[in-house]
Amino acid sequence: MKNYSKQSFDSAAKQYDDVFTFSEIGMLQRQRVYHWLDRSGFFSSSKRIFEINCGTGYDAEQFVQRGHEVIATDDSAEMTSEAKQKRNLMIDFQQLSFHEVANHPNFAETNVLFSNFGGLNCINHRELKQFTSDVANNQSRGDQLIWVLMPKICMIESIYFLLKLQLKKAFRRNTSSATVVNVQSSSIPTFYHSPKEVREMLEENYMIILIKPVAIFLPPSYFEEFFGKHKAILNFLNRLESVFGSISRLASWSDHFIIIAEKK
């Protein structure tokens, strides 16, 4: 698998928590992820979690506080360094690229592979398919994948660009090629994966537990400045999210979607 601009994430590490993790939109989107983790029974018993693209380690710390064991990895040296400085010392943070995950000496000892907020959108369709196959060969029956990815269409984003008459951007995600996304002034090549594509990659080796939208009405995080000034609108959108966010078919139209699968 090719490098996914880890230097770009290095440069974003210092400000990442301020810009996304603790932003209004970031926290609301994470609440939706945790809602589905809770509904799936994830928090009901202790797990051994192998996290990829952990960023600054916020999720890893939440899991440890809930009694789980966590190995948290990221390909960015600066993200890993930030995580070690900020988070619980019980968490085993390691710098690790995607192609090293399946054969990591501790991977087979864990029973959940977790990836939040689009880390797997850093690799293309072919690479994700290979990654899925490699992981399946090194997981045991009953082990889980819990992934949060960005699909090929985001309803809120499309409406925004259509209203601005920026037609090329309205459906910019709907391509198999890389789309360059700006993350704190860094350019990140991003590949979007539909729920259908991911399901097809997994279904030979995994039973799909759920696929749900994460932020069908909540906006993408780059709208933070606007909604920081219009919190009433954001609160209204969050209420819509709680009403319509359980409709699985909307996963293809949301900013992110969560898929939980169990090894057959």
Report the distance separating Cα 254 and Cα 212, nearest Å. 9
User: Which pLDDT value is given to residue 3?
Assistant: 43
Q: At 255, which amino acid appears?
A: D
Let me know if residue 217 belongs to a domain: yes
Helix locations, 58-217, DSSP H: 58-65, 77-86, 125-136, 155-163, 167-170, 195-202
Nearest to 170 by CA among 154, 181, 182: 154
What tokens were used for 214?
A: 């994460």
- The CATH number of whichever domain residue 102 belongs to comes to 3.40.50.150
* Residues spanned by the domain of 75: 6-263
Nearest to 252 by CA among 153, 126, 104: 153
φ/ψ (deg, to 5) at 261: -135, 150
Contact (CB, 8 A) for 224 and 23: yes
Let me know if residue 168 belongs to a domain: yes
Number of folded domains that form the chain: 1
User: Which pLDDT value is given to residue 34?
Assistant: 98
Residue 188: strand pairing partners? 181
pTM (2 d.p.): 0.94
Let me know if residue 160 belongs to a domain: yes
Nearest to 84 by CA among 103, 116, 63, 61: 61
pLDDT tens series, the chain, 264 aa: 344 455 556 666 777 878 889 999 999 999 999 999 999 999 999 999 999 999 999 999 999 999 999 999 999 999 999 999 999 999 999 999 999 999 999 999 999 999 999 999 999 999 999 999 999 999 999 999 999 999 999 999 999 999 999 999 999 999 999 998 876 666 789 999 999 999 999 999 999 999 999 999 999 999 999 999 999 999 999 999 999 999 999 999 999 999 999 999
Using CB atoms within 10 A of its CB, is residue 127 exposed (0-12), middle (13-18) or buried (19+)? Answer: middle
Strand intervals (E) in 102-255: 112-115, 144-149, 179-183, 186-190, 206-214
Let me know if residue 1 belongs to a domain: no
Report the distance separating Cα 175 and Cα 151, nearest Å. 10
